[in-house]
Amino acid sequence: MPGTDETVEEARRAMVAKIGENIAVRRYERFEAPAGLVASYLHGSRIGVLVELQGGDAGLGKDIAMHVAASKPSCVDESGVDADLVEKEKAIFSAQAAESGKPANVIEKMVEGRIKKFLGEITLVGQAFVKDPDQTVAQLLSSKGATVARFVRLEVGEGIEKVESNFAEEVMAQVRAS
């Protein structure tokens, strides 16, 4: 949408003027849902979530956004999970199961079960709903005739790599250089 970057920059400048500290906006997301609705949730001033729903209502959207803030799912469903990640997990689970000494067909079933559990833990629709752990998010959405098209969870400071240094080593390196 035209003007979005200017709006973000204007808001940044206003905050800098208000608090007297420089602020850097590293990333932001914008959702438009012509056929659905976009719900948001702010957890304090550190975590923000946007959820695009098809079907459902604003209350459901807020509940799902709250869930995302609390549970940090990686993606909406299994189709969003990186295949390499699944393969790495399979290899780990296979190695662990092989140590049990059970037959190959039993090991295969064990690995399938662990992969299913793993996918349930990292996908939004596979997780137990935080407000009612007796049902999954998929079951909640189904009961309301809704689906989640996408979501984004942003947290203050997330992704910033902190460089750890040893002050004594830095001083010694400067002494050696001179």
Instruction: Give the CATH number for residue 72.
Output: 3.30.479.20
Predicted TM-score of the model (pTM): 0.75
Number of domains in the chain: 2
Least confident of 47-51, 118-122, 171-175: 171-175
Judge if 142 and 64 occupy the same domain.
yes
Predicted pLDDT of residue 3: 57
153 within some domain? yes
pLDDT at 23 over 90: no
Separation CA 24–CA 90 (nearest Å): 40
Higher pLDDT, 159 or 112: 112
Tell me how far apart the alpha carbons of residues 151 and 33 are, in angstroms, rounded to a whole number. 12
Other CB atoms within a 10 A radius of the CB of residue 73 amount to 21
Same domain, 72 and 109: yes
Q: How many Cα atoms within 13 Å fall on the side-chain side of residue 70?
A: 11
| Rounded mean pLDDT, 74-88 | 93
Among the listed ranges 26-30, 146-150, 158-162, 173-177, which one has the minimum average pLDDT value?
A: 158-162
pLDDT tens by residue, 95-149: 888 887 788 888 888 889 999 999 999 999 999 999 999 999 999 999 999 999 9
Residues 11 and 54 in one domain: no
Mean pLDDT of the chain: 88
As a whole number, mean pLDDT of residues 81-100 equals 88
Structural domain including 54 reads 37-159
Which tokens belong to 6? 């200017």
